[in-house]
């Protein structure tokens, strides 16, 4: 599968080092609280697992599945909650963990939903931020890496449910997805 990559942007070691730094920062920022960490499925599960092991304060974890892409490489612009939370957010400090912030539509929608449900605060944590594609004014509060406007896979990022398992992040060769 590495042959499908045009280039590797971040190695397993680079990712691990940066996730550790972000985990330390979150631990410091939330030292007096027990935040609710919400992983956005499916892509964030790899990052979330690594991140919570680097946070040294108690956290509660839940998951949501949100969709605006389907099987496409482009957002449809319609955001749907596929799997909702199992715990209430009212009065809680919430950290939404996402694999990548791209257009910002999904996270803007999700942040608004959580605030309407009574969350005390909602902060965005992302492994990768792609500001060149932003169409909604939203910025992550915690970010491991800013990335170029390229089709990235690995470390939870996928193309058609493939490549999530790669320990690195790379640019997918255009001939792999150009048939869309």
Apex 180 CA angle, 168 and 6, nearest 5: 30
pLDDT tens-place string over residues 88-116: 999 999 999 999 999 999 899 999 999 99
Whole-number pLDDT of residue 74: 57
Fold of the CATH domain 14-150: Rossmann fold (3.40.50)
Whole-number pLDDT of residue 69: 54
Residues of the chain with pLDDT under 70: 69-77, 179-180
pTM for the whole structure: 0.91
102: annotated active-site residue? yes
How many Cβ atoms sit within 10 Å of the Cβ of residue 100? Answer: 23
The residue from 102, 141, 158, 175 that is catalytic is 102
């Amino acid at each position: 599968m590495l042959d499908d990559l045009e280039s590797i942007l971040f190695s397993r070691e680079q990712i691990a080092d940066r996730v550790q730094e972000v985990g330390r920062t979150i631990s410091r920022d939330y030292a007096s609280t027990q935040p609710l960490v919400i992983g956005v499925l499916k892509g964030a599960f790899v990052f979330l697992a690594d991140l919570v092991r680097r946070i040294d304060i108690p956290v509660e974890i839940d998951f949501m599945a949100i969709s605006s892409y389907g099987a496409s490489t482009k957002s449809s612009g319609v955001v749907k909650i596929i799997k909702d939370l199992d715990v209430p957010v009212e009065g809680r400090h919430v950290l939404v963990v996402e694999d990548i912030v791209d257009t910002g539509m999904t996270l803007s929608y999700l942040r608004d939903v959580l605030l309407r449900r009574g969350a005390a605060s909602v902060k965005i944590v992302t492994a990768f931020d792609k500001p060149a594609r932003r169409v909604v004014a939203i910025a992550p509060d915690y970010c491991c890496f800013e990335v170029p406007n390229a089709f990235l896979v690995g470390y939870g990022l996928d193309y058609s449910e493939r490549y999530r398992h790669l320990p690195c992040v790379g640019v997918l060769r255009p001939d792999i997805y150009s048939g869309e």
